[in-house]
């Protein structure tokens, strides 16, 4: 069974631009969560989607948004990029969410210049 895939793996943007990251969950998984990983703040929860609905949200500004499609694939969007948005963005999938085991993708590394 294929694992969680994330595209692109690396991305360079400039301040003020917007970016869209994609996550394809393991086949059959309906829950997709997104996390931001930085050296200073560590791993922080962004949001979770299940059956195209956002069920849970972390403490991030409205510039961070996401959506989920009917095939469970998910995208997250960051508008008006700031230098501090440089991070590794990880998505994780599971059948129905925590406390089930979450399977993480390799991440998208975003660099904002």
Q: Which residues bind other proteins (CB under 8 A)?
A: 4, 31-33, 35, 42-45, 48-50, 55-56, 58, 90, 92, 94, 96-99, 101-107
- Compute the chain's Rg from CA coordinates: 13
Contact 108, 4 (CB under 8 A): no
- Report how far Cα 82 is from the mean position of its chain's Cα atoms: 17
CB 100 → other proteins: shortest distance, Å?
9
CB 31 → other proteins: shortest distance, Å?
5
CB 96 → other proteins: shortest distance, Å?
7
Residue number, 38 or 80, with CB nearest to other proteins: 38
Residue number, 48 or 85, with CB nearest to other proteins: 48
CA distance 4 to 12: 22
* Angle of CA points 38, 26, 95, to nearest 5°: 95
CB 109 → other proteins: shortest distance, Å?
9
Sign of CA dihedral 89, 14, 69, 8: negative
Structure tokens belonging to residue 22:
């994609």
Residue number, 10 or 17, with CB nearest to other proteins: 10
Residue number, 13 or 58, with CB nearest to other proteins: 58
């Amino acid at each position: 069974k294929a694992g969680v895939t994330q595209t692109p793996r690396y991305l360079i943007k400039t301040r003020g631009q917007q970016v869209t990251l994609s996550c394809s969950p393991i086949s059959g998984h309906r829950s997709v969560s997104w996390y931001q990983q930085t050296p200073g703040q560590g791993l922080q929860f962004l949001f979770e989607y299940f059956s195209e609905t956002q069920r849970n949200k972390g403490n991030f500004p409205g510039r961070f948004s996401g959506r989920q499609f009917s095939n469970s694939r998910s995208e997250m969007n960051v508008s008006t990029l700031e230098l501090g948005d440089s991070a590794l963005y990880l998505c994780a999938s599971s059948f129905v969410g925590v406390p089930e085991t979450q399977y993480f993708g390799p991440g998208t590394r975003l660099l904002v210049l």
